[in-house]
Structure 1
Amino acid sequence: MKRTRNLRGPLAAFFHDENGAAAIVMALMLPLLIAGLAFGAETGFWELQRRKLQNAADMAAHSAAMQKRSGVSSESDLKSVAEVVAAVGGYKLGSAGITLASPPAGGAYAGDASAVSVALNHSMPRRFSAIFLSGNINFTVSATALISAGDPACVLALDPSAAGAISVGGSTDVTLTGCNIAANSSSASAIQSTGNGATLEADCASTPGGVDDSHGILDLGCSAPQTGTAPVSDPYASVPEPTVGSCSSLSSFTSGNPATPAPGCFSVPSGTNTIGSNVELSSGTYIFNGPGEVRLNGNKSMTGTGVTLYFTGGASLKVNGNFDLDIKAPTSGTYSGIAIFGSRTNGGDFDLTGNSGVAIVGAVYAPDSDVTYTGNTAGFGVGECTQVIGGTVTFWGSAEFDTDCSNSGTTHPTTAGGIKLVE
């Protein structure tokens, strides 16, 4: 009993001693603190990966929208672009984990053909949390890019590299009401002025390249020409070229007074072939198969409604003297809106600069040709307009254009709109 009483003193003293208590508490709490720090670090890492993946999705959606704006329409092609860009941003699951939709299937922009949505799936192994939970961490991020509407263009040069793809010279006076000029050339002087006495008035000018307005002829409604823009899509790229069959002699085209040829194909011998008589065209397609030049000259005229003049085999067209070319394109059918059609591969050049001017309702469409144009819209009705779309376009003389093409059957080229992330 005495020995037990002797032990009670030291034990009581031990339990009442407060020295070192904090160390004991810390020893007991340390595993929980370490676990909390580990969980915090791991969840912070998850959030970092989510943000990195969101940046990759943003870049992928924006890049896919840029491709769509430039004319790529296939979702598989857009997805391929998005996948490459997302991989640069750190995305690693390949095509199996990426979803692209244009238009988006859901969200605020569901069904909007101007929007592109991209979703990226991500999977990563657990670290500390694997002690308590099994399976990978999986999450999905998404982004939607919207292509804003561009502006209509009345004049478009399709050549991708020419200097002076759109050129304005001499004492030219060109007025474009409610529309732009656009050149797809990457040249530093894609749009160029060459005459001190010239004036070109338009809403704006756009080009992937640059603008050389050293003569100060551009009078634009925008603050400055838009340079470094995406090329403008060819609005008639899907229109098939007429089939060249059996061709009659060009003399049969001018037979009669006035000549009233039926639609069909006419051979154009090498050299200059002058048409110096009045010609009244019925509606339809007239094919001129080169290699020569069709020259409209003298105090005569060529008129017609619902007409498409197609030039191929190197055939070219020149209007000079006081000849009056006054034709209107079809407003429906395969060649709706195209008054003059130059072959995409072997068309000649077009010089439409007669002294009386040229009055064409519809498009002068010659993607592989040099087009020189002088024309007026003085006698046009409501909704009648002129478009000039060539490989290159030169203005020499006065010309007038209007964006109201509602009764012309045309398809407007549209300058590239902006792209912004909206979701």
Structure 2
Amino acid sequence: MRIVVTVCSMFFHVCRLRSDQRGAVNVIMGVLLVPLIGALGIGFEVSNWSMRTRGMQNAADAAALAAATNNGSNYDVEAKAVAARYGFLDGAGNISVTVSNSAACPGGGNTCYSATISGYVPLYLSQVVGYRGDATLNGGPAKQIGAASVAKRPSAPTDFCLLALGSQGIRSNGAPKASMACNAMSNTGSTCNGGNLGAPIGAAHNTNNGCGVTQYSNVPAVSDSYAALASKIPPDPCSSYPQEPTKKKDPALPASNRWSGSQSLGGTFVVCGDLQLTGNVSIDAPAGAVLVIENGQLDTNGYAFTTTKGTGLTVVFSGDNSGSYTHGPTGGGTLDIAAPASGTWSGVAIYQDPKLTSGVDISAAGNSPAWDITGLVYLPNSSVTLSGAVNKAGFGKSCFAMVVKDITVNGTGMILPNGECIPAGLSMPSTTIPGRATLVL
């Protein structure tokens, strides 16, 4: 009987055990714990990699833009400084920042700027599922992450009505009312005190200090394409060069050197020595003309020197540097010249021979005489002081440009707006001003 009871009790407990599910979760959790920890680890670390990579990408974008905007010899220094502000210091914390100015551009060429940031992050929970990364950091497994960016600095061609070729460039002192309705460029540096000249764009090959509403430095120099016109000046036919008398005993200028009234010119006309006006002069040259003054000045003498409607004239000052000659316009009155719109001297109103280096300075441009000029005034070795307003010729287009060695703008020096240089036949001085840097990759 006792045996039967014992057997029944054992059977009861076995049946109860079979139906009892308490503790099953522990077994399941024990089995699933490893992959669960691995999944959580992968999720955590992948999120960390993503956030870190996004930070690197932002820093690389900013660094590439900074390098392209700098566009100078220290572009890499500036780019790395920008990356450091984002928390990625080159050489610290396993971070590497590499910058280049010869990266391949998507549109072709190798003139783009690139910034690459790379680093390592250690592995933690992801090792549970057997992921060992692709690098080693401090003897342990790690994951390498990084970001790269490419930027370019586009360039736009810009025309200039004022170009200074010499070492002093563009200068102004106390000229708050100066108004350049066109762009100014110096092939060296420029400094403007007391006003920015009012020029829409002020540019300099070296440093621009205060010239122009929008100011640029480190701009490519403008090539002097007008110097080649010197080969078109005819040989000097003169045997003597009469000069205006400065003393009572000096001989008077011959009649051929004193002009008044209407003058009809065609082709090339040469005056030996000074040309002085004794009355208002109107130049009639329907086919265009070149007036060459050899070793002499054009003294307007208080009168108007004017080109008539339909006339194009280029006044060329040539000669040598042997005497005390003045090679340029002088006197009061008005210089009202429209350059020819076509031909060899197209767009050129006044031209100083580049071989002239003495007697070429102009101390009161636009004032003595007043300048109403359509076309180019080329004074490559002249130090010019612009004191007056330059307007268009009475029968000319709205187009003016001046190429000088150095220029100082005083008081209310002004240059009219340009907008008709193409029909006026003038190819303006121009260069490319780098625009705003943009990301391209």
Confirm or deny a common fold (TM above 0.5).
yes
Partner of 2:276: 276
Partner of 2:171: 165
1:10-36 Cα distance to aligned partner (Å, 9 max, x none): x97998436955555423433333344
Aligned 8 A contact 2:202 2:216 in 1: yes
Matches within 5 A, 1:172-251: 178-179=181-182, 186=189, 189-191=191-193, 202=198, 206=202, 208-210=207-209, 226=213, 229-230=216-217, 237-241=224-228, 242-243=230-231, 246-249=235-238, 251=240
Aligned 8 A contact 1:161 1:186 in 2: yes
Aligned 8 A contact 1:155 1:181 in 2: yes
Per-residue deviation at 1:307? Answer: 1.4
Identity of aligned residues (%): 16
1:197-235 Cα distance to aligned partner (Å, 9 max, x none): xxx9956574654459xxxxxxxxxxxx63753377776
- Counterpart CA distance in 2 for 1:143 and 1:350 is 46
Per-residue deviation at 1:349? Answer: 1.9
What amino acid does structure 2 have at the position aligned with 1:59? A
Partner of 1:34: 41
- Counterpart CA distance in 2 for 1:396 and 1:183 is 17
DSSP-derived class of the 2:297 partner: strand
- Counterpart CA distance in 2 for 1:181 and 1:236 is 14
- The question of 1:331 aligning with 2:347 is answered no
DSSP-derived class of the 1:249 partner: coil
Per-residue deviation at 1:264? Answer: 8.1
- Counterpart CA distance in 2 for 1:337 and 1:396 is 27
Gaps in structure 2 of 5+ consecutive residues = 1-6, 84-95, 122-130, 136-143, 243-253
Matches within 5 A, 1:100-115: 101=107
DSSP-derived class of the 1:392 partner: strand
What amino acid does structure 2 have at the position aligned with 1:248? P
Structure 2 length as normaliser, TM-score? 0.56
RMSD: 5.8
Q: Please, which moves more after superposition, 49-58 or 407-416?
A: 407-416
Per-residue deviation at 1:403? Answer: 1.6
- Counterpart CA distance in 2 for 1:421 and 1:386 is 34
Matches within 5 A, 1:335-346: 335-342=345-352
- Counterpart CA distance in 2 for 1:233 and 1:156 is 13
Task: Assess, with a 3 A threshold, how the Cα gap between structure 1 residues 249 and 174 changes in structure 2: closer, same or farther.
Answer: farther
Matches within 5 A, 1:32-111: 32-63=39-70, 92=98, 98-99=104-105, 101=107
Task: Assess, with a 3 A threshold, how the Cα gap between structure 1 residues 175 and 382 changes in structure 2: closer, same or farther.
Answer: farther
DSSP-derived class of the 1:248 partner: coil
Per-residue deviation at 1:362? Answer: 1.1
Per-residue deviation at 1:355? Answer: 4.9
- Counterpart CA distance in 2 for 1:210 and 1:82 is 21
DSSP-derived class of the 2:216 partner: coil
- Counterpart CA distance in 2 for 1:96 and 1:24 is 56
Aligned 8 A contact 1:154 1:403 in 2: no
- Counterpart CA distance in 2 for 1:238 and 1:49 is 47
- Counterpart CA distance in 1 for 2:145 and 2:201 is 51
Aligned residues: 360
Partner of 1:71: none
Structure 1 length as normaliser, TM-score? 0.57
Q: 2:401 aligns with which of 370, 387, 393?
A: 387
- Counterpart CA distance in 2 for 1:38 and 1:342 is 74
Per-residue deviation at 1:410? Answer: 3.0
Gaps in structure 1 of 5+ consecutive residues = 68-79, 104-115, 194-199, 213-224, 268-272
Aligned 8 A contact 1:370 1:393 in 2: yes
Per-residue deviation at 1:392? Answer: 2.8
- Counterpart CA distance in 2 for 1:264 and 1:403 is 32
- Counterpart CA distance in 1 for 2:354 and 2:120 is 56
